[in-house]
Amino acid sequence: MAERVEIFEVGPRDGLQNEKRLIPAAGKIALVDALSRAGFRRIEVTSFVSPKWVPQMADATEVMAGIARRPTVRYAALAPNLKGFDAAVAAGVDEVAIFAAASEAFSQANINASIAESLARFAPVVAAAQAIAMPVRGYVSCVVACPYEGDIAPEAVVRVAEALNVMGCYEISLGDTIGAGRPESVARMLAAVAQAVPVARLAGHFHDTGGWALANIDAALDQGVRVFDAAVGGLGGCPYAPGAPGNVATEAVARHLAQRGFETGLDMAALDRAVALAKGLRDGNA
Ligand code: HMG
Ligand code: MG
């Protein structure tokens, strides 16, 4: 039987958060529902963050309330602090994600906190989630390079990934936020992180600058990573990472994995319908 690789769909959050045009909640709901039909086990729906920082996610509660939930799908959302966590729980999310960075400058720009301050702020979120048995995922951004600081040493990634793991995140997603990674740098970084966090708890999160994302996924597969974040239609970037290109497209990852003989469990026809919807939302004609 083919080995399983999971694609964690982040398009409705990591993709749409970066769109300049305010997309109506109904469009976001339709996209999440289309993704639910495509067979994902986890979908990141939205963010419970400050609407002043990311206006596109201000309708998080409305979107969560509108989706047609499938029992086979876990619906996730970002929660940077207890305020976001409480709102996420009230809205009925199944899991939350906290998001740190391996770069001090990016951490300041993204969440107005140093790395140490951010970890201190996440600890009560994880404790509150654990108290209600809610899974918490952790992100590390800028795992290869930062838009402000340039190259990031693998050791900086190790420190943050390890802290999130010790704190209790069930999985740590390693984000090449600006798509600076190449197979060699990704392999080097992953080899270092895997010394501190079991590879079964790591996910790869690649952006497709210059078309390197699939090669970077291959490098991560070689290191034993079996979960990859991707955004339907290649939506997105990051509002606090100038020049960040879109996330690697889910449909490209799914086809690449199938060609390599891995099983993703996705219904490609249903996924293609979600891709069309995502592109319509992005281009303003859906
Ligand atoms: P701050 O301004 O330092 O926060 O922002 P504060 O605690 O001083 O509060 C300021 C105001 O925000 C207050 O409102 C709070 O109530 C409100 P006011 O009294 O001024 O009216 N506030 C909130 N409102 C709603 N929900 C909340 C919340 N918290 C405070 N949760 C903060 C700090 C973290 C809140 C802010 O910087 C923020 O929201 N940042 C989010 C940025 C973001 O979402 N970035 C994108 C996600 S990261 C990413 O894309 C990378 C990733 O995808 C990986 C990759 O691609 O590599 C993960
Ligand atoms: Mg991303």
Q: Which of 202, 89, 80, 92 is nearest to 143 (CA)?
A: 202
How many A from CA of 81 to the centre of ligand 1? Answer: 8
Confirm whether 25 is domain-assigned: yes
- Residues flanking ligand 1, CB < 6 Å: 14, 17, 47-50, 53-54, 78, 80-81, 83-84, 99, 110-112, 139, 141, 175, 177, 205, 238-240
The answer to whether 30 and 280 are in contact (CB under 8 A) is no
Ligand 2 ion local residues (Cβ < 5 A) = 14, 247
**152 Cβ partners below 8 Å, 6+ apart?**
102, 103, 142, 143, 144, 145, 146
The model's pLDDT over 86-104, given as tens digits with 9 standing for 90+, comes to: 999 999 999 999 999 999 9
Strands (E), 115-215: 136-141, 145-146, 150-151, 171-176, 202-206
pLDDT at 242: 63
Query: Structural domain of residue 269, as residue ranges?
Result: 6-283
What's the whole-number average pLDDT of the chain?
A: 95
How far apart are the C-alpha atoms of 222 and 6, rounded to whole Å? 15
**Token digits of residue 146:** 């930062």
Contact 102, 152 (CB under 8 A): yes
Is position 214 within any domain? yes
Average pLDDT over residues 21-46: 97
pLDDT the model gives residue 248: 96
Cα separation, 246 vs 240, whole angstroms: 13
Lowest mean pLDDT among 31-45, 82-96, 232-246: 232-246
Task: Write the pLDDT tens digit of every residue in 100-149.
Answer: 999 999 999 999 999 999 999 999 999 999 999 999 999 999 999 999 99
User: Does a structural domain hold residue 242?
Assistant: yes
pLDDT of residue 283: 83
239 pLDDT above the threshold of 70: no
> Ligand 1: distance of its center to the CA of 53 in Å?
6
The whole-number pLDDT of residue 170 equals 98
Question: Stretch 212-232: mean pLDDT, rounded?
Answer: 98
Q: Is residue 71 part of a domain?
A: yes
Of 142, 146, 169, 238, the catalytic one is 238
CATH at 88: 3.20.20.70
Confirm whether 1 is domain-assigned. Answer: no
Report the residue among 49, 142, 208 best suited for mutation to probe ligand 1: largest number of ligand atoms under 8 A from its CB.
Answer: 49
Q: Look at residue 223 and tell me if it is in a domain.
A: yes
Full-model pTM:
0.97
What are the residues whose beta carbons fall under 8 Å from the beta carbon of 131, sequence distance 6 or more?
A: none
Contact 82, 124 (CB under 8 A): yes
Q: How many domains does the chain have?
A: 1
The residue count of the chain comes to: 286
Residue 147 belongs to some domain of the structure: yes
Catalytic residue status for 238: yes
